[in-house]
Amino acid sequence: MLDGNNIEHMLQVTVRELSKMARRRRGGERAFHYLPFCFAGSRIVLWSQLYRGRPLMLGTDMGQLQQELKTADPHFYLNVPMLLERIQRGASQRIQERGGVVAALFERAVLAHAAEQQHTASTSDRLLLALARIALFPRIRHMIGQSLEFLICGSAPLREDTQRWFQMLGIPVYQVYGLTETTAIATIDDTERVRVGRVGHAIEGCELRLGEDGELLCRGPNVFRGYWNRPEASAAVLEGGWFHTGDRVELDEHGSVKLIGRVKDVLVLESGHNVPPELIEQRLTGALSGVEQAVVVGHGRPYVAAIVTGAIPDADLQRMSEVVNADLPHYMRIRKLFRAPEPFTAENGLLTANQKLKRDAIERRYEHAIEQMYQ
């Protein structure tokens, strides 16, 4: 149950934050939206644009998303990580296929940008980046979105290399975190100090603290009143005014939040070791360019295994596990991999409408393959 006070507070917050993000513009920002409006975040985007007197264009067909984005030519839009990762893969692949000087410059620029972020850039790195920012990056930005100025990402952790990739091109990605129970968001990136891999700090008026097992608790005017006609469920998550999010996080001394995973999604191996699957899944999708999705399994099992999707040659599966396992503790290392014959989608019942993994459904669909990995 969200009331008028929740909505009014959130609109005041988002209007201020959107104004900061769009500070380079004097006119109205065109927003594009493709996610279903059953999500609180979608409704807040709509209401915020209406409140500000700014246009919002709606995508109605995920199969035509690329064309609709081109037609809308937005200044920003709300994303789930999967879409940004697809954009990164698609643009990188087009550059590689082009080959020649452009592909070579892009490859060197990516390495130079990584060195710059680690404060180890040489003079040649800085010169190469300067050249890429003049001659190459504007062309890639134009390919992604001619008028695109910034992106907002939520619903799940965004891979660090993906956030840095957009940052390299000059398109900042601001991460947010929240649930329906927090009226869409509880944290948001500081536009002046974006920390890659983290989802920002508490929004104005919201307090954060850690509970048992690193669970994030929050309270404030954005927190809901409870579940409709479910007093026991409401009491279970609202204790002393603190909402128990069910998400495990790291909270540093500056109040910056890093998502680790769901408290209930932690895999407990036969050995008793706790394994957060999202950490390994992010590594899997970043290990090779062909990997699109990954889900880690192993609860009650002797070791960790994984199911992946994408155009991955058989020869690369073993190499991928070696890359992922390189600096993981022994109990978190992947022992077996299975390549699924089709991607996880909302249409085949393996993703939610906002592109989150339906873990139970995936494990049921590939029950035989999982058993094979543990024989």
- In angstroms, the first-to-last Cα distance of the chain is 47
DSSP state of 157: P
- CATH code of 1-200, in short, is 3.40.50.980
Q: Which CATH class is domain 267-373?
A: alpha beta
Query: What is the three-class DSSP state of 253?
Result: coil
pLDDT digits (tens, 9 = 90+) for 177-225: 999 999 999 999 999 889 999 999 999 999 999 998 889 999 999 999 9
CB–CB of 288/337 below 8 Å? no
In sign, the C-alpha dihedral spanning 367, 369, 374, 375 is positive
pTM of the predicted protein model: 0.80
d(CA 254, CA 176): 16
pLDDT digits (tens, 9 = 90+) for 18-61: 988 987 665 678 999 988 888 889 999 999 999 999 999 999 88
Do 1-200 and 267-373 have matching folds?
no
Q: Where are the domains of the chain?
A: 1-200, 267-373
Q: Stretch 301-315: mean pLDDT, rounded? A: 88
CB–CB of 321/337 below 8 Å? yes
Residue 190 burial (CB count, 10 A) = 14
Question: What pLDDT score does 24 carry?
Answer: 61
Q: How far is CA 14 from CA 44, 55, 85, in A?
A: 8, 15, 25
CB–CB of 199/175 below 8 Å? yes
